[in-house]
Amino acid sequence: MDHEATVRKDIRGPEMVPTRCVKTLDRSEALRLLATVLLGRIVFTEHALPAVRPASHLVDGEDLIVRIQGGGASVLLPATPDVPAVVVAYEADAIDPETRLGWSVVVTGYASLIGDDDEADRYEALLLPWASQTATKALSIRPDLVTGFRLGAEAAHPAPGAST
């Protein structure tokens, strides 16, 4: 049996298998969906290896504003003033664990610390921390690449070998 298909037994008939479909999202739809959730995962390089941290976010126009917990941002922020931003990826999704239907979006771009204190304070007030730890100042990610997909189901059909 295909592990990607959800099988449901109906007492009125044969096992039914919904056909899975994946629809690619355009940039505007991906950013719109990203704005509907509050938490995601930021991916960055730590000691030349990929690292992932949960983070809260909001979408402001085309920019993604992210709040990193505790010491996580110190790894993300450039070590020298001549490097104003670092390349990161940010992923968020809403996928139902039972039906495995939903969507996923990945934003890749340059992250930089929001330097204007008033703007940083405004974002920090809007971005609730995902845990009760000290959060750092907000980061802005300017998306270069925005990709996403929606996992859907089409009409169910009888499972192979199911009796009718």
- Nearest-10 Cα torsion for 24, 111, 94, 155: 0
Q: What is the predicted pLDDT for the residue at 120?
A: 82
Q: Is the pTM of this model over 0.75?
A: yes
The SS3 call for residue 39 is strand
CA count, 13 A, side-chain hemisphere, 77 = 17
Candidate from 3-7, 21-25, 36-40 with smallest mean pLDDT: 3-7
User: Is the pLDDT at 140 greater than 70, yes or no?
Assistant: yes
Tell me the DSSP string of 137-158: EEEEEEEEEEEEEEEEEEEEEE
pLDDT digits (tens, 9 = 90+) for 29-56: 999 999 999 999 999 888 888 989 888 9
Distance from the first to the final alpha carbon of the chain: 18
Domain architecture of the chain: domains with CATH: 37-146 (2.30.110.10)
Mean pLDDT, residues 114-123 taken together: 85
Nearest to 46 by CA among 75, 66, 67: 75
Confidence of residue 156 (pLDDT cuts 50, 70, 90): low
CA distances 82 to 86, 89, 115, 142, Å, are 11, 21, 15, 18
User: Is the pLDDT at 14 greater than 60, yes or no?
Assistant: no
Confidence of residue 5 (pLDDT cuts 50, 70, 90): very low
Q: Which of 19-23, 70-74, 159-163 is predicted most confidently? A: 19-23
User: Which DSSP letter does residue 105 get?
Assistant: E
